[in-house]
Amino acid sequence: MATQPETKEQGQNLESLTWGELTWVNIERPTERETDYLAQNYHFHPLDLDDCLSRIQRPKIDEYPDYLFLVLHFPVFNKEARVTTPSQVSVFIGDNYLVTLHKGELKPLVKLFRDCQLNEESLEENFSLGSGYLLYRIIDRLVDYCLPILNRVGDNIERVENNIFSDGVRGTLREISWLRRDIISFRRIIWPMRAVIGSLEPRVRRFTRRDMKDIDVYFGDMIDHVDKIWDGLDGYKEIIEGLNDTYDSLATNRTNEVVRTLTIIATVLLPITVVASIYGMNIDLPFENLPYPFPMAIVVFIMLVIIVGMLYFFRRKHVI
């Protein structure tokens, strides 16, 4: 089947690919100029076009007689903020077209479009079974893109776990706090997307070729991957909470050890200080009329007896 050449609208962040009767319109960093183009060439609801430019839109599916409108969020790790942030993908899907609008941050989506531009076999493989199958290929790649991000979280947790039991490692509590925030943000992205992807297959079936009867198997496998990601995040959440409790327990024990040591030292020095204070008074005291250095020796002997007695007492009580 002949392939029509790709087109790129002048002055717009819009590219399109056509194979047979199916056209994929890809828009990176959409603005009102691109949504106006879509309004002129497609019968999309104005509210859906407004949602494409919204940054606070939740994942959803809007169903219309001749097309579906999807909003999906996928995780992107922000290295500067050290947190996973959502990147929105808006999709219009009809019988003979698929329109994607995104910020260009999702590498699998960008790479898939480039592969279809450069590789005839990839173009045929993704386009030949209809717009529904093309949508599956896009979402499946984006879901699989979450797995390396999830593995990175697991690696960071292992590193923090090792640091917890290493003396002298600073910043461990801050690392735990960053990881906890990252996991919470990741979970906030995946949770609403599970419901959208889970209900997607029955609605997309009408946009696939009739001879493709196993589309439910493809979407079922993708749902399994999403559930795997969620289960991993759920497990990491419990682990990071446990590590935080472990760190608090270890920090408390270390503090108690220091306080106990200081308490023993203060308790031992207290009677010695009392003896020294008494013999430092400008009054007549026992043993002061003895020839030098006998008074000093007696005072030192009394102090040593007190120290040995208190250490023996603490030893008997298993304090030290």
Q: 125-150 b/e with 16+ CB inside 10 Å = b?
A: bbbebbbbbbbbbbbbbbbebbeebb
Predicted TM-score of the model (pTM):
0.78
pLDDT surpasses 50 at 249 = yes
Domain extent, residue 66, equals 3-251
Average pLDDT over residues 21-50: 91
DSSP letter for each residue of 159-215: HHHHHHTSTT-TTHHHHHHHHHHHHHHHHHHHHHHHHHHHTTHHHHGGGS-TT-TTH
112, 185: one domain: yes
168, 286: one domain: no
Q: State the Cα–Cα distance between residues 82 and 281, nearest whole angstrom.
A: 64
Binning pLDDT at 50, 70 and 90, where does residue 111 land?
A: very high
Which amino acid, residue 201?
A: E
231, 266: one domain: no
Specify the DSSP element, H or E, that contains 285.
Answer: none
CA distances from 43 to 18, 38, 57, 67, 131 (A): 19, 8, 21, 9, 17
223, 261: one domain: no
Q: Which CATH number covers residue 75?
A: 3.30.460.20
Q: Which CATH number covers residue 292?
A: 1.20.58.340
Number of independent structural domains in the chain? 2
281, 172: one domain: no
301, 173: one domain: no
176, 290: one domain: no
Residues 74-89: tens digit of each pLDDT: 999 888 878 889 999 9
pLDDT surpasses 90 at 233 = yes
Binning pLDDT at 50, 70 and 90, where does residue 286 land?
A: low
Do the strands 22-28 and 97-102 form a parallel or antiparallel pair, or are they unpaired? parallel
pLDDT surpasses 80 at 128 = yes
Residues 175-225: tens digit of each pLDDT: 888 999 999 999 999 999 998 998 998 899 888 887 677 888 989 999 999
120, 245: one domain: yes
91, 217: one domain: yes
